[in-house]
Structure 1
């Protein structure tokens, strides 16, 4: 039977006396029928929905009634509608293949059910901070044409006894009542190992609540989760996710793509992009994106149509060095650090232009610092 998932969800909404949920899935079915060029059936379905008295008002009220934390009266989720984006994420080929497979599994669920292969639509994303787990979740939602319901860990986890479990239940009830992708961000905050002796009983009960809600959720409901610390997750949680994808730090090709995409019309020539990809080895996509946008803003301020390579590298260096609290006491100190970092790029001439000094001043500064360092090393050796 075609579109069995939507039909079952509509039936479930009717049986649970949830007209707004049934309406949302009926509209989703109408959209799918229209995409399949079955406009007459889609229009008939929409007319039936429109004739239901008061349903539009109920749906609006339900959409506004987001799950909330009792302690702070703050929504525990944020909702984002899928936005068109012509730039796919810069991901390795094997990660892209795994994502495509997951999306196809969700889209072809009726086919799997027909053959007795009902795989739960569950995906766990693992990776270091800044590798693009949240953006990947957004892309999955966009490819499925569904809004994404993103949990807010700062609100979901409550200091009140039993409130966190209640918040989790409300989030799952909300997600199961409408077509959406539920994204459990920072999963380790609510799914830590129960055999950890340092965890108190309340947190162990939270894990049990999460497991119970995952098991009670219809297998057609799409659930994504992300964690920076897979080693902290309870093993039973991992078994609930049929798909696991590790997102690594970007390789050279992905770094070049991120630089080019984020610099946009201000991007330098391809050979300079290759240099940027090389020097940013080991950095996350988030760091590269922030540096690119920072350089682009600075380029606009300075009136550059194309951001010079040295300007981009200088903004990147400042970001990295400031993270390590290496604040320079003078422009000369920053100039010397740049020279030591990339001497083939930050030549005397480039540094003189960047810092608005003569090449002689650059040379004097570099030599004086080098001599001072040599004197310091010599004094240390004589002691």
Structure 2
């Protein structure tokens, strides 16, 4: 922040100097080479305080709601146009707060942002950061924040509510309450060189002042059936089956979709079960464990079996005999899912 103000003042009298300073604000100069300093470690255990992911590692594009897609597009546009914005005395988005239930794509979105910005992703490792020693947790968090402002990166503070709880929570010790104040000040002065992403499953636990500090706030909700279908299709599932599976996964998360697809592929590789059949079996089991109503589960399972047999070229009457339902029921299923 101070560098940005300095740049604005210098530009009035010395354009050359301002141009030299500008890369410090936008981070473009820093992105031309790899980060040089080692990530911070806990002084006692020597364990790294962050998990590192290279910008060269592949990352799948998240399937997001229209609102979240607009927000991500805007963020990327501002970050990629940092030079242009800075020249106009403006600052690109520096910090994002993502809230929503587990498994809806917050971490995946942070990873995707890092890849699109060609920056490494550092994820705060709470297991290493939290310490029973007085003052150590605060020192660890400060070390991570300082490192991320020296080295251009995307810093993900996952489970943000663990370190940014409401300061009126009487169950917390004074150290954590002081840490919230430090975090608030850090967000205010965050360098545009790096992108700060905080993610929480429990937005109601965050200190109220935290919400106001972030440049952008994104709310992730459980995906709609249409988004779940798209998520299955993105993993190679045919649309007709993806639409039926989406009915089974109503109220479930994107991570649940990923789990059943991965489990089905393993079943195919290890035991020779056809992927589509393994996927139907895994989806039925997952939905039953999730508490799907028996009537809905039975109906969706029947439609999926009809689709599987139909894909093999089996006529309706043979499908009816194979799955133990009437010929009329099979025809109705085929018509409703055509």
The TM-score normalised by the length of structure 2 is 0.76
CA contact (8 A) 1:176 1:221 kept: yes
Residue from 26, 31, 36 that aligns with 1:28: 31
Distance 1:86 1:11, change over 3 A: closer
CA contact (8 A) 1:181 1:222 kept: yes
Residue from 285, 290, 301 that aligns with 1:318: 285
Residue from 227, 238, 248 that aligns with 1:279: 248
Answering whether residue 173 of structure 2 is matched by residue 205 of structure 1, we say no
Answering whether residue 191 of structure 2 is matched by residue 222 of structure 1, we say no
Q: Which residue of 1 aligns with 2:275?
A: 307
- Aligned-residue offset at 1:213: 2.7
Deviation digits for residues 139-167 of structure 1 (CA, Å, limit 9, x no counterpart): 11111111111111122222211111101
Query: Larger relative contact order (C-alpha < 8 A, sep ≥ 6)?
Result: 2
Q: Which residue of 2 aligns with 1:43?
A: none
The TM-score normalised by the length of structure 1 is 0.67
Distance 1:321 1:212, change over 3 A: same
Alpha-carbon distance between aligned partners in 2 of 1:270 and 1:340, rounded to the nearest angstrom? 18
Alpha-carbon distance between aligned partners in 1 of 2:42 and 2:19, rounded to the nearest angstrom? 31
- Aligned-residue offset at 1:207: 0.8
Alpha-carbon distance between aligned partners in 2 of 1:209 and 1:28, rounded to the nearest angstrom? 27
- Aligned-residue offset at 1:204: 0.7
Q: How does 1:26-105 map to 2 (within 5 A)?
A: 26=29, 28-29=31-32, 62-63=37-38, 66-83=39-56, 85=58, 87-105=60-78
Alpha-carbon distance between aligned partners in 1 of 2:219 and 2:19, rounded to the nearest angstrom? 29
Alpha-carbon distance between aligned partners in 1 of 2:290 and 2:59, rounded to the nearest angstrom? 32
Instruction: Point out where structure 2 has 5 or more consecutive residues left out of the alignment.
Output: 1-14, 310-319, 325-338
Alpha-carbon distance between aligned partners in 1 of 2:19 and 2:53, rounded to the nearest angstrom? 23
Instruction: Point out where structure 1 has 5 or more consecutive residues left out of the alignment.
Output: 13-23, 32-55, 325-335, 351-358, 364-383
Alpha-carbon distance between aligned partners in 2 of 1:110 and 1:9, rounded to the nearest angstrom? 8
Distance 1:198 1:10, change over 3 A: closer
Residue from 239, 242, 251 that aligns with 2:212: 239
SS of 2:275's equivalent? coil
